[in-house]
Structure 1
């Protein structure tokens, strides 16, 4: 299995054959809250014991996107990538911001919030689970966290990484599909004043000890554990030592898949200890425009949908679909041939080291 996974990673990150179709047309992805929150998705044609997870990076629905959703509907941000989001048994995203119209902004540079009425767009787009362990879920304090959890509960969307106390924030969301129980955990090491505690709401703190403990507990009630970690440095291509330490701790404790975000740019895939680590999936939905393209360059706009097919025994397939955030529409779309070649070329340059 390790040899097969290493081969898939090498193919996914290097071969130009993996580019999506040109002219913005989607192509088939290419090879390469209270404890516990549970759901069973609608039946699919997936064989028993085989599940495909689709993972995307930061979904930020605030600022200009609020106006666009008011004008065009809650599905506007996702419309051009619906086929990609729905082409899996379970789809997970990092929800970057609070779903609230109440509260005061905490003291920081950027605060993101979206009216709760737009939460329905996430489920309509095919997203099943959101990671809340990040530096924006608590941007509007305890009331913002409370409203976010309520909004997600109202639309039936599972979440992990935030709660009204530390135990709830660290509890897994569990999805059962095709006879497999999959636990999702979520953490961040950013913005210390928003961490949940035994007496207060917030997000789950990412440290190796907590992750190890929680993954071990999740393995007792689930067949597979997936861990989202919000860590690293913004607009930096290489994962930090801390990112690597936390991801390795999760795999060592029994997780099969680690999904990273926060750097706002793609970082490498790594096979480690029989599992897969995506150190950063970059942005996915963000109100980036032509001025941002000039100032930040294309790497803030380049992203992927990562598909991981797995069984109880491990990972059996890895694929990516190349996506580009359209600076004139403020939403993602399938990458053109040239954009896909650049995205896959960058991933190839970043490398996919294989380690134990």
Structure 2
């Protein structure tokens, strides 16, 4: 019998601004924000809170303890939402917050062994079409697949097609919703670069997404549907999100729903044997020294390891790895921190008979 398919997924990976400044090839630190005018300011805030950060830091520095944890568990594929333009060019979009990382610092993504970066989000065009073009070229040069943004609407909507060995294909489809802050004019057009925008979650859009997936899917393929949706803060899962995800699973279109945009982990569920992550939370960012939203404990993050049955692509196990950010680096969470994450998730699970359990190894598991 074939071994289960093990996937690693995480939410937002924001390697711009302060993170970019500690790596060997930082971009111009000038920012266009109302209160912070230099990306060095975010490094200073983090150092004031947690202590000195090495500069220049090696490319694998930011991943910290997560690297050994992933090596031990050996997922077949690693998928993340890249919420940063990889460019030193372009012009900042007039939106207040603009993330970018120098392309020569993008080695930090391959240092984590990422196989696929989903790009349908509200920051990939922060530096315009030129910045998006540089992002696509940089990822291609690193051998990292991407989806969700492109030179036109066909390229933006096309899935990343990944090989998981033994003739297995994983198709990753990436969509962004306006509710996550994506400007509607960022939508890719027939001759316009942009993101794969999902204008609404109404029934017509369910039909459209299911039909599009069916055009690409071959027998035996597994489908990951990656969605950038909803606000940054708040534990409520909108009914429209749940209905959309569940219907695409019920129709056999998606085998795993990978939701993100929230800055903290949201509830999750196993629906008809398939995993729905409504909001993975941030994984890498430079928010360490920023005040506010302390009730959400945004310094605590989760990485998700899902094992799928290779025949029916049903969820067999879900392990969640808890980390905390300190000095722009992921460290293993303490027992108290992991317990807090489990309790918070359990208070916000949409299915009453499913629970998040804390293991003796200090990781979290979904009981379903």
Same fold (TM over 0.5): yes
Contact residue 85 and residue 126 of structure 1 kept, 8 A? no
Q: Which whole-Å CA distance do the structure 1 matches of 2:274 and 2:237 have between them?
A: 17
Residue of structure 1 in register with 2:357 after alignment: none
Shift of 1:220: 2.7
Q: How many Å apart are 1:275 and its aligned residue?
A: 1.6
**Deviation (angstroms), 1:249:** 4.1
Secondary structure at the aligned position of 2:216 is classed as helix
Report the CA distance between 1:316 and its aligned residue. 4.2
Q: Does 1:154 align with 2:141?
A: yes
Indicate the RMSD between aligned Cα atoms, in angstroms.
2.0
Q: Is the 8 A contact 1:233 1:240 kept in 2?
A: no
| 8 A contact 1:137–1:145 mirrored in 2 | yes
Unaligned runs of at least 5 residues, structure 2? 25-55, 199-204, 354-368
| TM-score, structure 1 as length reference | 0.81
In 2, Cα distance between the equivalents of 1:230 and 1:136? Answer: 11
Equivalence map 1:28-67=2 (5 Å): 48=2, 50-67=4-21
- The answer to whether the Cα contact below 8 Å between 1:173 and 1:184 also exists between their aligned partners in 2 is yes
The structure-2 alpha-carbon separation of the partners of 1:172 and 1:49, relative to structure 1 and needing over 3 Å to count, comes to farther
Bigger mean CA deviation after superposition, 314-323 or 155-164: 314-323
Q: Which residue, out of 222, 227, 231, partners 1:224?
A: 222
SS at match of 1:271: strand
Aligned with residue 105 of structure 2, among 98, 105, 118: 118
- How do 1:59-78 and structure 2 match up within 5 A? 59-70=13-24, 71-78=56-63
Q: How does 1:339-350 map to 2 (within 5 A)?
A: 339-350=337-348
Name the counterpart of 2:175.
Answer: 187
Using the TM superposition, name which of 157-166 and 122-131 deviates more. 122-131
Give the C-alpha shift of residue 353 in structure 1. Answer: 1.2
Corresponding residue pairs, total: 307
CA distance in 1: counterparts of 2:248 and 2:99, whole angstroms? 28
Q: In the aligned structure 2, how far is the partner of 1:123 from the partner of 1:132? A: 16
- Equivalent-residue separation in structure 1 for 2:246 and 2:271 (angstroms): 7
1:168 aligned onto 2:155: yes
TM-score of the superposition, structure 2-length normalised? 0.78
Tell me, yes or no, if the aligned pair for 1:225 and 1:254 is still in contact at 8 Å.
yes
The 8 Å contact of residues 288 and 299 in structure 2, kept in 1 or not, is answered as no
Please state if 1:319 is matched with 2:318: yes
Structure 2 residue corresponding to 1:199, chosen from 191, 195, 218: 191
Q: SS at 1:323's partner residue?
A: strand
The residue aligned with 2:128 is: 141
- Shift in Å, 1:174: 1.1
Residues 114-155 of structure 1: per-residue CA shift (max 9 Å, x gap): 111122221121211111111111111111111000000000
- Indicate the SS of the match to 2:121: coil
- Higher relative CO (Cα under 8 Å, sequence separation at least 6) belongs to 1
Whether the 8 Å CA contact 1:68–1:76 is kept in 2: the answer is no
Question: After superposition, where does 1:60-99 map in structure 2 within 5 Å?
Answer: 60-70=14-24, 71-86=56-71, 87=73, 88-99=75-86
In structure 2, do the counterparts of structure 1 residues 164 and 297 end up closer, same or farther at CA, with 3 Å as the change threshold?
Answer: same
Match of 2:88 among 93, 98, 101: 101
Instruction: Point out where structure 1 has 5 or more consecutive residues left out of the alignment.
Output: 1-46
The answer for the alignment partner of 1:39 in structure 2 is none
Corresponding position of 1:279: 278
* Shift in Å, 1:213: 2.2
User: Structure 1 runs of 4+ off > 4 angstroms?
Assistant: none
C-alpha separation in 2, matches of 1:182 and 1:65:
30
Q: Secondary structure at the match of 1:72?
A: coil
How far apart, in 2, do the equivalents of 1:324 and 1:307 lie? 14
- CA distance in 2 between counterparts of 1:105 and 1:242 reads 33
* 1-structure distance, mates of 2:234, 2:256: 22
